[in-house]
Amino acid sequence: MVKPKTIVIALLAVLIAILAARRLFPSEAREVRKQFDRLSKWVSKGRAESALTMARKIKRIGTLFADPCKFRTPIYSFSGTYTPEEISSYAAAAHLQLAKLSLRFYDHNIQFPEEGTAKVVFTAKLTGTTKMGESIHETHEVECTLRKSEDKWLFTDCEVVEVLKK
Amino acid sequence: MAGKNIVRQFLFPRVTRKFLTRVCAVALFAYLIFGHLYIPLRIQGESMEPTYRSARFNFCWTLRYVFSKPKRRDVVVIRLAGKKVMLLKRVVAVEGEEVEFREGKLYVDGKEIDEPYVRYPCDWNLSPRRVEKGCVYAVGDNRSMLMRYHDFGQVSIKRIVGVPLW
């Protein structure tokens, strides 16, 4: 008869093996998620952030987007096609106006309709404070398309889904 | 001495078959109850004030609309891409009804609706629009902000996950 301790040890060993395999051989979905993590990290701004850190982060934001990248937002006047440089400069302008900014992504649903293309539906939550002290709370469902180019997943198309239609 | 033993037994239990069965049963029960029936919620934002204040805790009761459809005045939980971030809104009109705002007052099918839950001043004006089939019109109780800063509108019934428990 198998001892309960053996079962626990076996389960732990399987768990460690799975975690190690995931780390050593990252899946495409994990690579896509990493791009979202980077975007979140580089767009967000802390109160005590230095100008140098901010400049470095803003420069990096552009590297996540394809040239050109299409935005479709029914709510804001941001719809259009932008180059990575334009996206970086928009981010810089936003950073200057805001004292604090946090961009978080939740509930990623990643699908690969064809090789080298990923479609991701997720919830984006933007919170922050302007330098005037006003609070910002924005939550939207977003659908993004990413394409693989030179081993890097780049955002090529982003659309804000209108869940509540005025 | 006996108390010390109980504490020790609780913190470092003997791994037996019975213990493992119990752990699995508790985990399964918690997953079913809190993952699917009563989803824990932490309210963030002011759109449902004063009825639901920010930073309060609640649960989403998901079986509320198994045999019925949302009615006017119901407070509902609306999912976005998933269930990690959801919206809390009040149903003000159901399918087939015509909804309108005049000087902050809600009109449904041309009749003014009494809304005791709206405590803050509102001056919204929204031209009449009919709620499509399979949808409801959902608005927050706090309408003190400008209309463009408040997320509200027609939403598909399929996106309604449930109702807050209290």
Per-residue pLDDT tens over the stretch B47-57: 999 999 999 99
pLDDT top residue among A20 and B63 = B63
Of A109, A121, A164, the CB nearest to B138: A164
Q: Does A2 touch chain B (CB under 8 A)?
A: no
Q: Are A139 and B152 in contact (CB under 8 A)?
A: no
Separation in Å, CA B15 to CA B5, B11, B103: 16, 12, 67
Do B85 and A107 make contact, defined as CB atoms within 8 angstroms?
A: yes
**pLDDT over 90 at A24, yes or no:** no
pLDDT score at B28: 96
Cα atoms in the Cβ-side hemisphere of radius 13 Å centred on A95: 25
| pLDDT per residue as tens digits for the range A56-114 | 899 899 999 999 999 998 766 778 999 999 999 988 888 888 889 999 999 999 999 99
Q: What is the ipTM of this complex?
A: 0.84
Greatest CA separation found in chain B?
75
Q: Identify the band that residue A156 occupies on the pLDDT scale cut at 50, 70 and 90.
A: very high
CA distances from B87 to A95, A143, B65, B68, B113 (A): 27, 18, 17, 20, 23
Question: Pairing between strand B105-108 and B86-94?
Answer: unpaired
Per domain, the residue ranges of chain A are: 28-161
The count of C-alpha atoms lying within 13 angstroms of the C-alpha of A15, restricted to the half-sphere facing its C-beta, is 6
Examine residue A84 and say whether the peptide bond preceding it is cis (omega within 30 degrees of 0). Answer: no
The pLDDT value recorded for residue A106 is: 96
Q: Residue A1 — very low, low, confident or very high, per pLDDT cuts 50/70/90?
A: low
Question: Rounded to a whole number, what is the distance in Å from the CA of A144 to chain B's nearest CA?
Answer: 12
pLDDT at B72: 95
Measure CA of the first residue to CA of the last residue in chain B; give whole Å: 44
Q: How far is A92 from chain B (nearest CA, A)?
A: 23
**Predicted confidence band of residue B1 (pLDDT cuts 50, 70, 90):** low
Q: Which residues of chain A lie closer than 8 angstroms to B152, CB-CB?
A: 164, 166
**pLDDT attached to residue B85:** 94
**Min Cα–Cα distance to chain A from B3, Å:** 26
Return the structure tokens found at B62. 């998901």
How confident is the model at residue B10, as a pLDDT?
Answer: 81
Fold of the A28-161 domain: Nuclear Transport Factor 2; Chain: A, (3.10.450)
> Cα A93 vs. chain centroid, distance in angstroms?
19
Q: Which residue has the higher pLDDT, A3 or A120?
A: A120
**Between residues B40 and A151, the one the model is more confident about:** B40
How many CB pairs lie under 8 A apart between chains A and B? 64
- Check if the beta carbon of residue B26 is closer than 8 Å to that of residue B126: no
DSSP state of A100: E
pLDDT at A25 over 80: no
DSSP symbols for B3-32? HHHHHHHHHS----HHHHHHHHHHHHHHHH
Query: Minimal CA–CA distance to B14: which of A164, A5, A67, A141?
Result: A5
Q: A108 and B138 in contact by Cβ < 8 A?
A: no
> How far is C-alpha B4 from the chain's CA centre?
44
A135: pLDDT confidence band, cut at 50, 70 and 90? Answer: confident
Mean pLDDT of A23-32: 84
Q: Mean pLDDT, to the nearest integer, of B138-156?
A: 93
Average pLDDT, chain A: 89
Terminal Cα-to-Cα distance of chain A (whole angstroms): 65
| CATH number, span B38-164 | 2.10.109.10
Tokens of B42: 């932490």
The reported pLDDT for the residue numbered A79 is 87
* A56 and A38 Cβ atoms separated by less than 8 Å: no
Contact status, residue A130 vs residue A138, Cβ threshold 8 Å:
no
- For A124, counting Cβ atoms within 10 Å of its Cβ (0-12 exposed, 13-18 middle, 19+ buried), the class is buried
The Cα A165–Cα A142 span in angstroms is 15
How many CA atoms are closer than 13 Å to the CA of A147, on its beta-carbon side? 10
More confident residue, B92 or B46: B92
Instruction: Reduce the DSSP state of residue B69 to 3 states and report it.
Output: coil
